[in-house]
Amino acid sequence: MGHSHDHHHHHHNHAEGNIKVAFFLNLAFTIIEIVGGILTNSLAILSDALHDLGDSLSLGLSWYFQKLSKKGRTKSFSFGYKRFSLLGAIINSIVLVAGSIIILSKAIPQIFHPEEVHVQGMFYLAILGIVVNGAAVLQLRKGSSMNERVVSLHLLEDVLGWVAVLIGSVIMMYFDAPFIDPLMSVLIAVYILFNVYKNLKKSMVIILQGIPEEVSIESIREKLRSIQAITNVHDCHVWSMDGNYNVLTVHLVLDKDYPLSEQVALKQQVKQILKGESINHITIEFENQDEHCELVDC
């Protein structure tokens, strides 16, 4: 038992280490990009720098909040710090929206009045971008945690962004088409805004205590009613703390009075069913047939 805990702990630290490496790699490269974008006068590279800055921010925040969430419950936060990761997602979204609006306000006029860009500089920066982000993707692909997989997808998007910049720079080497740079910049900014919208929508559902996508209350009710001792299921609420950790509270009406020792076995049966329904934290209240519950309509 102790061994399996250590093994899990080792995996957790390994995941945190991987995210830490990816964070510093991404942050260093973002700074190189910003300088490179200014030197080459390329808005596409600056847009990609914004994308990378967003990734660096979310990596840094997820690393910080992952450490914070280990603190568990406190006097102020009875559920612990799990929901703080949402705060990170919202901060990150605000930064990305502000940056994208600035980029779009500069890029759209430049499509019609393009400025000269340093194409060779763009070309070499794009190759460096593919190599650095590609190395980070390979590092995180080996990871097994959900967090590592999400981060590796983010970095894979960066690789594809750089492939686009590389193709754009090659076209501009052979054709006089300086409008390609601001056009790519607009496309990258629109793509960032689309992702921000998706992430914000997800965060809002969690904050507003919406039912998690992977949970079906109807399925839970049906499965619980299939237990012979249970005649009714009501006041069933499900919400998520952070998109991964789901909480459920439920009232169950029993067909007769059961002694406490038998209620324990019933609870185990209920918990076993709920574990298979992506529920992590379960609160059950048993009621008898004659008991009047004020929450019966909930």
Residue matched to tokens 């492939």: 163
Tell me what pLDDT residue 5 has: 44
Closest residue by Cα to residue 14 from 56, 58, 57, 66: 66
298: how many CB neighbours lie within 10 A of its CB? 10
Read off the pLDDT of each residue in 183-203 and give the average, rounded to a whole number. 85
Tell me what pLDDT residue 15 has: 61
Strand partners, 284: 250
Lowest pLDDT segment from 60-74, 126-140, 227-241: 60-74
**pTM for the predicted model, two decimal places:** 0.69
DSSP code string of 219-276: HHHHHHHTSTTEEEEEEEEEEESSSS-EEEEEEEEESS---HHHHHHHHHHHHHHHHT
Quote the mean pLDDT of the chain.
80
Burial 192-208 (b: 16+ CB within 10 A, else e): bbebbeebbebbebbee
Read off the pLDDT of each residue in 127-153 and give the average, rounded to a whole number. 73
Question: 151 with 138: CB under 8 angstroms?
Answer: no
Which pLDDT band holds residue 170 (cuts at 50, 70, 90)? very high
DSSP code string of 114-131: PPP--HHHHHHHHHHHHH
Tell me what pLDDT residue 127 has: 92
Tell me what pLDDT residue 175 has: 87
DSSP 293: -
147: how many CB neighbours lie within 10 A of its CB? 20
| Calpha distance 175→192 (Å, rounded) | 28
Which pLDDT band holds residue 1 (cuts at 50, 70, 90)? very low
- Whether 8 shows a pLDDT value over 70: the answer reads no
Vertex 171 angle, CA 167 and 173, to 5°: 115
Strand partners, 281: 247
Tell me what pLDDT residue 61 has: 78
- Give the torsion through C-alpha atoms of 193, 196, 197, 200, to 10 deg: -160
Closest residue by Cα to residue 138 from 285, 56, 256, 25: 25
DSSP 30: H
Percent of the chain predicted with pLDDT > 70: 85
- Whether 152 shows a pLDDT value over 50: the answer reads yes
Domains and CATH numbers, the chain: 2-207 (1.20.1510.10), 217-287 (3.30.70.1350)
| Calpha distance 72→254 (Å, rounded) | 34
Q: Which amino acid, 246?
A: N
Lowest pLDDT segment from 34-48, 104-118, 152-166, 271-285: 152-166
Tell me what pLDDT residue 7 has: 44
Residue-wise pLDDT for 72-128, tens only, equals 777 877 777 777 777 777 877 888 888 888 888 888 888 888 888 888 888 998 999
Lowest pLDDT segment from 230-234, 271-275, 290-294: 290-294
Residue-wise pLDDT for 44-78, tens only, equals 888 888 878 887 887 787 778 767 766 777 787 77
Question: 88 with 21: CB under 8 angstroms?
Answer: no
Q: Residue 81, SS3?
A: coil
